[in-house]
Structure 1
């Protein structure tokens, strides 16, 4: 049976986190003279901005708990999901000793966070269908392998990882299994957050940057057991989510009907792009997508990337990723943006330069 206490870096178990007077205070008060704030107000234009934000984002967590079907104590909120990734590596991996396991091609911040903390990296590439190979992953794990990162739907390939393989990995991996679901809103697959009570080693990451359209506010979520969340809260910066973000996010979480409308437009446009790409001769392969982007393979990705730039269209060249030779990752834009993209692609195809 997995026990998180067996994986926490020893010195963090006894760490006493920073605590403000308001963390320790329960009850009503009208005069706050504890935090050395400017009680006259804020030059930023709002009286509330002179006060430190809620360090545990209680209002947002209550709304997210109802929306996601989890308990508030199973939610960590970070400055983007990147903060949660960084804290998870810091929590269980001893620098210079432990390692994480990655399945490339995948999201680059797992590797960046490991490198920042001087944590080793093992890699088991996804197969030709961009699916994890269970046996190879099992063979790669050692007693020093503390985290397995899975991205589903995967970035940059756009596909959901097969349910049975993911479940098998969670059940057998002796360490944290982090399932990054940044693009979960664009698929009809259920979130792994619905199964937290079954798997004490499971951590699920989500974000408001994609479907919710709040990339500029930087708010990500980790869902896990209360024990894991407790440790993350222990080592995070005390006020990691600012007042403005908390207020705007709380308001946005009440607008689920508008979210569904936006999602429908994006998925309709995704279907349109997939069909248009399939009809373009310059596309050698168009990968299916469960995300808000499409991965395509072309004869010469560098040239096509440059041609699109010349026409004011920016996409992402993923050719340097394992299994993604000559591949471009193209975000689903607005209908007008997608029209511009397709017009540029048709003009490039007509010149027969790519």
Structure 2
């Protein structure tokens, strides 16, 4: 059995977390004179003069009803990026420990490692965009603390083979982070049901994609109680503001609308893939389980710039490992997808 507490940095083991004014009493109260807030209110309609619940219990309870994950196994961050950063800060000794990332993948794993002065060991995906299990095994040593696996992967769009992830979970003695930002669009199941089986598993999800709340910056991390307790210990005291908590709670009441958007996006993804394959400038469209597709084209930089000139923004990924000559295209609304296709047709005929 993996002892999560032993994986912590020594200074984090001994850390006394900040105690908020609202942590220091139990029960109900009507007069709050403990936190040096403006007692007269706020210039807004809502009572934003009070600090928010530092553990976001109402919001976590609502998420629990949808995800089936207990509150004590849930962490909420200022975007998934906060959870990524806190994992480094809690488990990786700067200048000593290392992490493994699997390019091409989400860029913030590397940025956060650099910010926290943690060595990055890159094990490229295979040409099939699947895990190089042998390469990963060879990269691991006694100072390897984290392995980041993005599934469905960004920017390639594919899900990682479940059995390969399970192999790493069963054999790696550090923490395995599975970033499921795009899981709502995938055929593959979430790893949430495996939380009780693997104490070293951390699952990242987000409100930025399927839930359509990218502007709120709200991410979720699910894990065993020891990991969640550590994240709560090192996070800023009020990391999720009250406005975000209120709006997210309201959004969770509209699950049917979100599910309908997911269905439309998946349908449009299939249609856009087929239509793109009919264009002379498109060499390949990679299979996707996300809300975007990776498209190999004749001249990615030229095509990207030509689309920008028409007010259409894609992402040029042609300089990314294994993505040479590729654009990453988000699946838009039916009208947006049609606008893109018409522009590409004109460019192909130019």
The two structures share one fold, judged by TM-score above 0.5: yes
Matched, 1:4 2:1: no
What SS class does the counterpart of residue 284 from structure 1 fall into? strand
Report the equivalent of 2:39.
39
Q: In the aligned structure 2, how far is the partner of 1:148 from the partner of 1:320?
A: 23
Runs (4+) of structure 1 exceeding 3 A deviation are none
Q: In the aligned structure 1, how far is the partner of 2:23 from the partner of 2:241?
A: 16
TM score, norm. by length of structure 2: 0.99
Matched, 1:322 2:316: no
Report the equivalent of 2:212.
213
How far 1:329 moved relative to its partner?
Answer: 0.1
How do residues 1-354 of structure 1 correspond to structure 2 at under 5 angstroms?
1-43=1-43, 45-351=44-350
Deviations 1:159-196 (A, max 9, x none): 00001000001111120000000000001211111110
How far 1:300 moved relative to its partner?
Answer: 1.0
Deviations 1:132-179 (A, max 9, x none): 011111111011111000000000000000010000011111200000
Q: In the aligned structure 2, how far is the partner of 1:249 from the partner of 1:292?
A: 21
What SS class does the counterpart of residue 282 from structure 2 fall into? coil
How far 1:47 moved relative to its partner?
Answer: 4.2
Q: In the aligned structure 2, how far is the partner of 1:344 from the partner of 1:27?
A: 62
Q: In the aligned structure 1, how far is the partner of 2:130 from the partner of 2:319?
A: 19
How far 1:317 moved relative to its partner?
Answer: 0.5
What SS class does the counterpart of residue 49 from structure 1 fall into? coil
How far 1:321 moved relative to its partner?
Answer: 1.0
Q: In the aligned structure 1, how far is the partner of 2:35 from the partner of 2:45?
A: 18
What SS class does the counterpart of residue 54 from structure 1 fall into? coil
How far 1:90 moved relative to its partner?
Answer: 0.7
What SS class does the counterpart of residue 254 from structure 1 fall into? helix
Q: In the aligned structure 2, how far is the partner of 1:264 from the partner of 1:272?
A: 13
TM score, norm. by length of structure 1: 0.98
Q: In the aligned structure 1, how far is the partner of 2:288 from the partner of 2:92?
A: 33
What SS class does the counterpart of residue 60 from structure 1 fall into? helix
Q: In the aligned structure 1, how far is the partner of 2:321 from the partner of 2:170?
A: 27
Q: In the aligned structure 1, how far is the partner of 2:130 from the partner of 2:15?
A: 39
Q: Please provide the CA RMSD for this pair.
A: 0.8
What SS class does the counterpart of residue 67 from structure 1 fall into? helix
Deviations 1:250-294 (A, max 9, x none): 111121111111111111111110110111111111101100000
What SS class does the counterpart of residue 47 from structure 2 fall into? helix
Q: In the aligned structure 2, how far is the partner of 1:210 from the partner of 1:172?
A: 31
What SS class does the counterpart of residue 253 from structure 2 fall into? coil
Count of residue pairs brought into register by the alignment: 350
Structure 2 unaligned regions, length at least 5: none
How far 1:211 moved relative to its partner?
Answer: 0.2
Q: In the aligned structure 1, how far is the partner of 2:73 from the partner of 2:257?
A: 26
